[in-house]
Structure 1
Amino acid sequence: MKGKAKRSKVKLGVPVLVMVCSLFFFTGLFVSPMLFNFQDFGDVGQGQPWSRLLQESAAKEYGKSGDPFLHSIPFQILSWRPRIVYFPNFTTADVCEKIIEMAKPKLEPSKLALREGETVESTKGTRTSSGAFISASEDKSGILDFIEKKIAKVTMIPTSHGEAFNILRYEVLQKYDTHYDAFDPFEYGNVQSQRIASFLLYLSSVEAGGETMFPFEDGLNMDIGYDYKQCIGLKVKPRQGDGLLFYSVLPDGNIDKTSLHGSCPVIEGEKWVATKWINDKKQHY
């Protein structure tokens, strides 16, 4: 009788075990994605599970102006000459689309900072995109403020040193010939503030063309009579949500001659990018 009772328990336990296992499986399958579907503009900082794990194991004492948590922002160094850093998935596609819609009604033909002796007519065709300047303070949704603060974190330069976002659209065949973002006093005269770094947030992917190019990367092509209209050297293909940071000046404050860059012509599709220029002095706008 005892043997029969034991066998009876085994028979009853198998279906129960299967049901329990199935419950855990489907719970993990359907509930986990909901738990990790954060709507915080794509940040990877405070509040996310891996961030909490980092806090528990490695968080340090911080000062009054610091953060009480660690950040996990993936990056890749693309070049040391010039210093170029790539940030995959810096923000979400939804954020990118909202910034595009924000800029569309304000677009105007892009302008140039003219060197001494240059005119609008003599530089016609150098930069053929359209764009709009929008500051974070103008954006009531808080999206640009969020992006601006995240850029400050990866550059370690306060938001007060950034210019308003320049939201740019490049249509088919539109481009920006190679140039420096920093202002050489010998070409532009006395400058009140110097652009030391640039952050590009790609708001759209491009089917063909539209790469950000650095023809002098690692000192290449600097002594071959380089044609500024060519798309050669290190080229970064735009991908929606990705960020690109590069420095226009060296640590000693001199302009980095390898930071020459441009935007290759769009061959197919449309290129949208939000540019944040970062200066050595506080900006007022």
Structure 2
Amino acid sequence: MFIIGILSLLLIKAILVRNESFTSTTHLTQLLKTEIALAKSLETHLKQEYERLDQIEKFVNVIKDEIRQAQSNEEYYFGNPVNSYLFIKHLTADWYNIEELLPTNFSKNLGDKWIFPSFEDYTGSATGLLRLQDTYKLNTSQLANGEISNKFKSKRLSALECYDLGRVAYTSGDFYHTLMWMQEALDHLDKEQNKTSINKIDILDHLAYATSQQGNVEHALAVTEELLKISPNHIRANNNKIYYETIIKNRTLSKQQRKGDTNANEALNPSLLPANSANKNYKVKNERPDDLLEEHELYEELCRQNQTRLSPQREAKLFCRYRHNNHPLLILRPVKEEQVLDQPAIFLFHDVISDAEIAEIKSLASPKLQRAVVRDFVTDTFKPADYRISKSAWLRNDDSPVVARLSRLIGAITNLNMITAEDLQIANYGVGGHYEPHFDFARKSEKDAFSSLGVGNRIATWLTYMTDVEQGGATVFPIVGGHLKPKKGSAAFWYNLYASGEGDYNTRHAACPVLIGNKWVANKWIHERGQEFRRPCSLDPMA
């Protein structure tokens, strides 16, 4: 009890001493300093809160404007690749920055039912936009100003948005696109009234390195010197300046030695300075990487044209007719057949599927869509690949009467057995989605490609177009110059194998990236087994 009493007395004394601080004028004067410090801290906190809320409000306004434009008009809005890219960017890179400003439990309150794209989706959409720029030879300024098409307009990209595109290219080591988009970011920044969105130093830093990697050392030096005017103590820029000057000096000395010239004052070959520089007499070299195959350039050229271009002699072999094959499904309603290419023989069958049937197939496939994969014949596994960018799903005949009907119709039109055919593959192409030149059949080096199916090689391909495409998205045949423009409700058909079973290498084809619009297709691959009496084998290897 004695100890408890002592502790109680000490506690009472402490309270009295503390209370004395509020009854003493001297102590109150000292507390004023506390209040001043508290006011300053709260003002700093309020300023930070206002800035934080201002960033959140700006983000909300951006996405509300996006919602206003896209809602009830989704296919049209997302048919523009710039809109699609920005939409994905807002829900990834931009959202990640905003999420850090919010309470930790904010994202949890959204619930698991809300899906967000991944950062891979963001970089993929940016790369897709750059692919469209290359394939369709779009000017950087034209793309940045939303002038892809007279019918499909998009917003003008800000300096920050141009910079972000350049950053994606920079991160992947693509200095060709980095140079173009950093220069575009610089041009936009000079014209923007609000220049707080991106630091000019960051643009110049990336631009200098990218242009040096493209062989423009003088340009890199000029950009670096402009950066140092803004930030004289920039460590990397100072080091790079010495590096570029050394390269130029050694190059000049070497040039003089080759000429036997002792004149040390020979002028250097100048280069283009940034857009706001007074000196604009120079050119900058910026060439696409030379590791592209000749076929790739031909493929892109075919994508840019609007139709197959054949000689009059070859065009004379083409025809249009009604086909019924004496099949019960076609006798009363023959299908409209058009031959669009003679070698290899490529056919288009028109109005084979209705809008209602297309809508049901898309509805069935949408929840199942996954990133399309290709077979790695070395490891015998399936994996995503940069040369095939799309999402796909597989539908069986028993998934819907519509799928079963389409399968029966394909059998009736082609007169081939559908029992050994693969399920219907539905594919949807997003921003810059494409499939570079490839064969549908397995070549001799890929002898085990379809061994698990046990139905032989892919004898033929049936490709149903389920949407029209405003611009781009064609199916092209680089070897023979074929170009098929998607037409909703029509289907392309060709044999991948000769009657002998040998592969027809002229059937090498590609899906061009969609520039404007939306592309859905349904593929049906038909195999050799079961066709023995429907397409008899030939001893002639090329027959």
The TM-score, its normalising length taken from structure 2, stands at 0.35
2:340 maps to 1:78: yes
What is the aligned partner in structure 1 of residue 412 from structure 2? 153
3-state SS, counterpart of residue 161 of structure 1: coil
Find the aligned partners of 1:274 and 1:83 in 2 and give their Cα distance.
20
The one of 467, 471, 474 equivalent to 1:204 is 467
Superposition deviation, residue 67 in structure 1: 3.5
| Contact 2:374/2:385, CA 8 A, preserved across alignment | no
The one of 503, 512, 516 equivalent to 1:255 is 503
Find the aligned partners of 2:330 and 2:519 in 1 and give their Cα distance.
35
Superposition deviation, residue 205 in structure 1: 0.9
3-state SS, counterpart of residue 360 of structure 2: helix
What is the aligned partner in structure 2 of residue 67 from structure 1? 328
What is the aligned partner in structure 1 of residue 515 from structure 2? 267
Distance 1:69 1:256, change over 3 A: closer
Find the aligned partners of 1:92 and 1:113 in 2 and give their Cα distance.
33
2:432 maps to 1:173: yes
Find the aligned partners of 2:395 and 2:387 in 1 and give their Cα distance.
23
State the one-letter code of the partner of 1:133.
Answer: W
3-state SS, counterpart of residue 160 of structure 1: coil
Find the aligned partners of 2:361 and 2:348 in 1 and give their Cα distance.
20
| Contact 2:330/2:412, CA 8 A, preserved across alignment | no
| Contact 1:173/1:265, CA 8 A, preserved across alignment | yes
Superposition deviation, residue 235 in structure 1: 1.1
State the one-letter code of the partner of 2:426.
Answer: I
| Contact 2:377/2:446, CA 8 A, preserved across alignment | yes
**How many aligned positions are there?**
203
Superposition deviation, residue 216 in structure 1: 1.5
Superposition deviation, residue 68 in structure 1: 8.9
142-151 or 69-78: bigger deviation:
69-78
Find the aligned partners of 1:165 and 1:112 in 2 and give their Cα distance.
16
Distance 1:255 1:68, change over 3 A: closer
What is the aligned partner in structure 2 of residue 245 from structure 1? 493
Distance 1:274 1:68, change over 3 A: closer
Distance 1:126 1:190, change over 3 A: closer
What is the aligned partner in structure 1 of residue 75 from structure 2? none
Find the aligned partners of 2:431 and 2:491 in 1 and give their Cα distance.
22
Superposition deviation, residue 179 in structure 1: 0.5
| Contact 1:134/1:164, CA 8 A, preserved across alignment | yes
What is the aligned partner in structure 1 of residue 396 from structure 2? 135
Distance 1:90 1:265, change over 3 A: same
Distance 1:126 1:68, change over 3 A: closer
Find the aligned partners of 1:255 and 1:103 in 2 and give their Cα distance.
31
Superposition deviation, residue 190 in structure 1: 6.4
State the one-letter code of the partner of 1:215.
Answer: P
Find the aligned partners of 1:246 and 1:181 in 2 and give their Cα distance.
11
What is the aligned partner in structure 2 of residue 20 from structure 1? none
Find the aligned partners of 2:362 and 2:344 in 1 and give their Cα distance.
29
What is the aligned partner in structure 2 of residue 92 from structure 1? 354
Distance 1:90 1:175, change over 3 A: same
Structure 1 segments unaligned to the other structure (5+ residues): 1-58, 218-232
| Contact 1:107/1:131, CA 8 A, preserved across alignment | yes
Distance 1:185 1:116, change over 3 A: farther
Distance 1:164 1:191, change over 3 A: closer
Distance 1:200 1:190, change over 3 A: closer
2:102 maps to 1:102: no
Find the aligned partners of 1:159 and 1:190 in 2 and give their Cα distance.
20
Superposition deviation, residue 172 in structure 1: 2.4
Q: Which one has a bigger Cα radius of gyration?
A: 2
| Contact 2:467/2:489, CA 8 A, preserved across alignment | yes
2:471 maps to 1:186: no
- Alignment map for 1:35-74 (pairs within 5 Å): 67=328, 70=331, 71-74=333-336
Greater RCO, CA 8 A, separation 6+: 1
Find the aligned partners of 1:207 and 1:172 in 2 and give their Cα distance.
14
| Contact 1:114/1:188, CA 8 A, preserved across alignment | no
State the one-letter code of the partner of 2:466.
Answer: L
What is the aligned partner in structure 1 of residue 16 from structure 2? none
Find the aligned partners of 1:137 and 1:91 in 2 and give their Cα distance.
18
Q: For residues 185-210 of structure 1, give each alpha carbon's deviation from its aligned partner in whole angstroms, at most 9, with x where no partner exists.
A: 21354643200101011111111111
2:476 maps to 1:213: yes
3-state SS, counterpart of residue 409 of structure 2: helix
Find the aligned partners of 1:93 and 1:177 in 2 and give their Cα distance.
29
Find the aligned partners of 2:352 and 2:489 in 1 and give their Cα distance.
6
Distance 1:68 1:101, change over 3 A: closer
Superposition deviation, residue 159 in structure 1: 1.7
3-state SS, counterpart of residue 393 of structure 2: strand
The share of aligned pairs that are identical, in percent, is 26
Find the aligned partners of 2:473 and 2:329 in 1 and give their Cα distance.
40
| Contact 1:82/1:259, CA 8 A, preserved across alignment | yes
Superposition deviation, residue 119 in structure 1: 7.5
RMSD, aligned CA = 2.5
Q: For residues 71-125 of structure 1, give each alpha carbon's deviation from its aligned partner in whole angstroms, at most 9, with x where no partner exists.
A: 511101112321211011111122111111110000000011223368867x720
Find the aligned partners of 1:111 and 1:203 in 2 and give their Cα distance.
21
3-state SS, counterpart of residue 198 of structure 1: strand
| Contact 1:96/1:240, CA 8 A, preserved across alignment | no
Structure 2 segments unaligned to the other structure (5+ residues): 1-323, 531-543
| Contact 1:116/1:189, CA 8 A, preserved across alignment | no
The TM-score, its normalising length taken from structure 1, stands at 0.66
